[in-house]
Chain A
């Protein structure tokens, strides 16, 4: 009974937040705003999906914002140099895969603690991206940014991309041996090893998935913003972790979901800032609120975890 209730908790919180904002401002509960909100949330949802995967395996990736930035920098450089949009679109996931591969190697082969490795990488990749862009904002051609307004069967492209990615991730998580083994590893890595799972390879692949998700999220954000600014992707890791954990993924590994979990979490986090925007909140409070949301998420996770641990 309690377990069922707790499983619905992210959804309930989402409803409560939405209800509160619609009381505060009439601009919130409109179709236009809902569409706007979902479009805004699409890149956050992809990031949160990738983060959920990493968290399911009981690891963490603090460098997602920098990976986004680095992939965007490479794409921007290619766009400006060769003026070929397909090249840029292909390059982004490749960059993501490479970043993920390196992180995976650092965590498995070199044996670093995941948060240390990815924290250092956060700075290294940001530095590498700044190097490519030379700390200047790169304005991208309209044929690239046009993707933000494109539609597929009447739905905005960003939302479609996010949905497809999340569905693919859910399939990976629920319906493949890889996903099931991640859950086992996240629950207890040593037992998983004893049960015959190649833990190192699986964790390495988890970081690949995370890298690709960063690249996809980077692509969505890039088309929406139209420029590679030096602060592109900064602090996105915080939102991703908050979204994943608010969506019900445990920080201690093994439990969680991509759909609906990560999606709800991402919408929730985006909604908070969308709502604050609409009620004309002091923009200087936003970082403060981000931090509070993460802290809230961690506390929720701790409570949830303890509740079931004593069972």
Chain B
């Protein structure tokens, strides 16, 4: 299932004279060692340093709060994406899932459909249905990737079209706006000065942290992401791990959909596709490898804050939508570039 990248294994002459002993004891400048794998953090610091003189108001409490506030749903998305990237896959269907889930949940809550019985308008049930829908969509992706061994990016890309299309079809392109006020109030309540969505995102990050570090599932995710074949030979249920990983991503996207809906107070059948760039960018800046096998929940929190910070600064600079698009695309390119370099370096090490 894993995407195959075929770096040309040209025989390298200069590295072949290393003996294993030398490799094990290679020393590195401490500064370089500290920066190793933290290129993202380094770039962000550099970026802040450059941007600060142009928008000093970025350092105000209000702006910092806005950054954190905007980061919350993105963090949820990025945490989902991280699990799939860790497995060596990718989920491009984010915007489609968000659109469909918010439409479905909002339709139930606002009783859009005559055939739905009255009890389906119960918010908690609708929310649960939304989350379940996300998880099922993700599981289908996982099934296609693991059992049918289709490439993840194509499956999720076509799924983005299908889901987004379904959302438009159901609503005929209309937004659903009349969400019940008490529900919106509950969803926008502040606790300890922060929006409830921030707390939800933080708790999800904690869950991801614990899952990745302390559970059997987390170990399997890493094992499958690093070497699916070795994991299979060692008795790991690879198919199940892939399906569940994609399902987690789908559920996270669904949760993000609900957070966005609550924030915008409407459910929209179209959702900007750029959100995908933010999610992948946050994951990759946070140290998730695009080729699978490396991820950290704390890193993703950092990556999300970085993306959110960048978006906020671009807004403060009064840049147009198109500049933001170009900037975010370039961030992905840069992150992917560093990721490729890292991979090439470790492949060279392997050959020696």
Nearest chain B CB to A282's CB is how many angstroms away?
Answer: 7
Question: Quick check: B165 and A128 within 8 Å, CB to CB?
Answer: no
Question: Quick check: A113 and B320 within 8 Å, CB to CB?
Answer: no
Q: Give the one of B5, B277, B325 with max A CB within 10 A.
A: B325
Check if A155 is an interface residue, CB within 8 A of chain B.
no
Q: Within 8 Å CB of B163, what residues of A?
A: 291
Question: Quick check: A251 and B290 within 8 Å, CB to CB?
Answer: no
Check if A288 is an interface residue, CB within 8 A of chain B.
yes
Q: Within 8 Å CB of A25, what residues of B?
A: none
| Chain A stretch 286-303: residues in CB contact (< 8 A) with chain B | 286-292, 294-295, 298-299, 302
Question: Quick check: A124 and B329 within 8 Å, CB to CB?
Answer: yes
Interface size of B as a range: 35 or more
Q: Within 8 Å CB of A295, what residues of B?
A: 155, 158-159, 162
Our pick among B9, B148, B336 for the contact of A302 (Cβ within 8 Å) is B148
Q: Within 8 Å CB of A149, what residues of B?
A: none
Cα A193 to Cα B166 with chains together (Å): 45
Question: Quick check: B155 and A120 within 8 Å, CB to CB?
Answer: no
- Taken residue by residue from 334 to 348, chain B's Cβ proximity to chain A (1 for < 8 Å, 0 otherwise) reads as 001100110110000
Cα A122 to Cα B157 with chains together (Å): 13
Question: Quick check: A238 and B8 within 8 Å, CB to CB?
Answer: no
Question: Quick check: A113 and B158 within 8 Å, CB to CB?
Answer: no
Check if A6 is an interface residue, CB within 8 A of chain B.
no
Check if A131 is an interface residue, CB within 8 A of chain B.
yes
Question: Quick check: A282 and B169 within 8 Å, CB to CB?
Answer: yes
Cα A202 to Cα B148 with chains together (Å): 31
Nearest chain B CB to A206's CB is how many angstroms away?
Answer: 15
B332 nearest CB neighbor, chain A only: A120
Question: Quick check: A284 and B10 within 8 Å, CB to CB?
Answer: no
Check if B49 is an interface residue, CB within 8 A of chain A.
no
| Chain A stretch 29-53: residues in CB contact (< 8 A) with chain B | none
Check if B37 is an interface residue, CB within 8 A of chain A.
no
Check if B14 is an interface residue, CB within 8 A of chain A.
no
Q: Within 8 Å CB of B148, what residues of A?
A: 299, 302
Check if B6 is an interface residue, CB within 8 A of chain A.
yes
Question: Quick check: A287 and B150 within 8 Å, CB to CB?
Answer: no
Q: Within 8 Å CB of A135, what residues of B?
A: 320-322
Question: Quick check: B162 and A291 within 8 Å, CB to CB?
Answer: yes
Nearest chain A CB to B345's CB is how many angstroms away?
Answer: 11
Our pick among A115, A128, A291 for the contact of B158 (Cβ within 8 Å) is A291
Q: Give the one of B8, B274, B330, B337 with max A CB within 10 A.
A: B8
Nearest chain B CB to A40's CB is how many angstroms away?
Answer: 20
Question: Quick check: A116 and B332 within 8 Å, CB to CB?
Answer: yes
Our pick among B92, B155, B172 for the contact of A119 (Cβ within 8 Å) is B92
Question: Quick check: B330 and A131 within 8 Å, CB to CB?
Answer: no
Our pick among A113, A119, A287 for the contact of B3 (Cβ within 8 Å) is A113
Q: Within 8 Å CB of B158, what residues of A?
A: 238, 291-292, 294-295, 298
Nearest chain B CB to A252's CB is how many angstroms away?
Answer: 9
Question: Quick check: A128 and B326 within 8 Å, CB to CB?
Answer: yes
Our pick among A115, A199, A284 for the contact of B168 (Cβ within 8 Å) is A284
B7 nearest CB neighbor, chain A only: A111
Check if B324 is an interface residue, CB within 8 A of chain A.
yes
Nearest chain A CB to B320's CB is how many angstroms away?
Answer: 7
Our pick among A123, A129, A193 for the contact of B274 (Cβ within 8 Å) is A123
Question: Quick check: A291 and B161 within 8 Å, CB to CB?
Answer: yes
- Taken residue by residue from 241 to 269, chain A's Cβ proximity to chain B (1 for < 8 Å, 0 otherwise) reads as 10000000001000000000000000000
Check if A117 is an interface residue, CB within 8 A of chain B.
yes
Question: Quick check: B322 and A290 within 8 Å, CB to CB?
Answer: no
Q: Within 8 Å CB of A199, what residues of B?
A: 8
Check if A285 is an interface residue, CB within 8 A of chain B.
yes
Question: Quick check: A113 and B169 within 8 Å, CB to CB?
Answer: no
Check if A130 is an interface residue, CB within 8 A of chain B.
yes
Our pick among A113, A282, A285, A288 for the contact of B290 (Cβ within 8 Å) is A113
Q: Give the one of A110, A189, A286 with max B CB within 10 A.
A: A110
Q: Within 8 Å CB of A238, what residues of B?
A: 157-158, 161
Check if B206 is an interface residue, CB within 8 A of chain A.
no
Question: Quick check: B168 and A298 within 8 Å, CB to CB?
Answer: no
Cα A282 to Cα B168 with chains together (Å): 11
Check if B153 is an interface residue, CB within 8 A of chain A.
yes
B172 nearest CB neighbor, chain A only: A284
Check if A126 is an interface residue, CB within 8 A of chain B.
yes
Check if B173 is an interface residue, CB within 8 A of chain A.
yes
Cα A62 to Cα B90 with chains together (Å): 15
Check if A106 is an interface residue, CB within 8 A of chain B.
yes
Question: Quick check: A127 and B322 within 8 Å, CB to CB?
Answer: yes
Given contacts A116-B332, A287-B168, A291-B162, contact A298 B10 (CB under 8 A): no
Cα A282 to Cα B170 with chains together (Å): 11
Cα A235 to Cα B173 with chains together (Å): 17
Question: Quick check: A287 and B173 within 8 Å, CB to CB?
Answer: no
Check if A121 is an interface residue, CB within 8 A of chain B.
yes
Question: Quick check: B8 and A189 within 8 Å, CB to CB?
Answer: yes
Check if B175 is an interface residue, CB within 8 A of chain A.
no
Q: List chain B positions with a Cβ less than 8 A from chain A.
A: 3, 5-10, 92, 148-151, 153-155, 157-166, 168-169, 172-173, 273-274, 277, 290-291, 320-326, 328-330, 332-333, 336-337, 340-341, 343-344
9 example contacts (A-B, Cβ-Cβ < 8 A) are as follows: A120-B336, A127-B322, A131-B326, A199-B8, A285-B165, A288-B162, A288-B165, A294-B158, A298-B154
Of all A-B residue pairs in the complex, the 4 with the closest CB atoms, nearest first, are: A291-B161, A127-B325, A288-B165, A287-B165
Instruction: A113-B290, A294-B154 given; name 19 further pairs at CB < 8 Å.
Output: A113-B3, A113-B340, A121-B329, A124-B325, A126-B325, A127-B323, A130-B320, A130-B322, A130-B325, A241-B154, A251-B151, A284-B165, A288-B168, A290-B165, A291-B165, A292-B162, A295-B155, A295-B158, A298-B154
